[in-house]
């Protein structure tokens, strides 16, 4: 199983260079949007994604695969029903 790692350098580049984080921080009401604050928030979000969300993704993937063998198809070949959430049909 692969572990998700957020692309921190790419995210910071986009926010600093492309989105203009310094200019955003000068807007009224956004004075707290400093590069240090944004970096701290991104690091915590990355840690949350790695430690909490990534393991849940594996659980969902395994559960869906067991629920219906044909969950990825628009209609199940076995019973002909449309797929719905959760990824299983009522008869499979």
In the chain, where the domains are located: 8-67
pLDDT of residue 54: 83
> ∠ CA(83), CA(54), CA(86), 5° rounding?
15
Could you tell me where the DSSP H helices lie in the chain? 8-13, 21-25, 35-48, 54-67
| Local confidence pLDDT in tens for the 92 residues of the chain | 567 888 899 999 999 899 898 898 899 999 988 889 999 999 999 999 888 888 887 776 666 555 555 555 555 455 555 555 555 555 55
Cα–Cα distance for residue pair 92/71, rounded to 1 Å: 9
Q: Decide: 68 and 76 in contact? Cβ < 8 Å.
A: yes
pLDDT of residue 42: 92
Q: How many residues does the chain have?
A: 92
């Amino acid at each position: 199983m692969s572990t998700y790692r957020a692309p921190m350098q790419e995210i910071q580049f986009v926010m600093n260079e492309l989105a203009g984080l310094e200019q955003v921080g000068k807007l009224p009401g956004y004075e707290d949007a400093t590069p240090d604050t944004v970096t701290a928030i991104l690091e915590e979000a990355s840690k949350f994604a790695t430690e909490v969300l990534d393991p849940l993704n594996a659980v969902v993937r395994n559960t869906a695969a067991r629920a219906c063998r044909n969950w990825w198809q628009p209609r199940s070949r076995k019973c002909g029903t449309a797929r719905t959430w959760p990824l299983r049909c009522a008869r499979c």
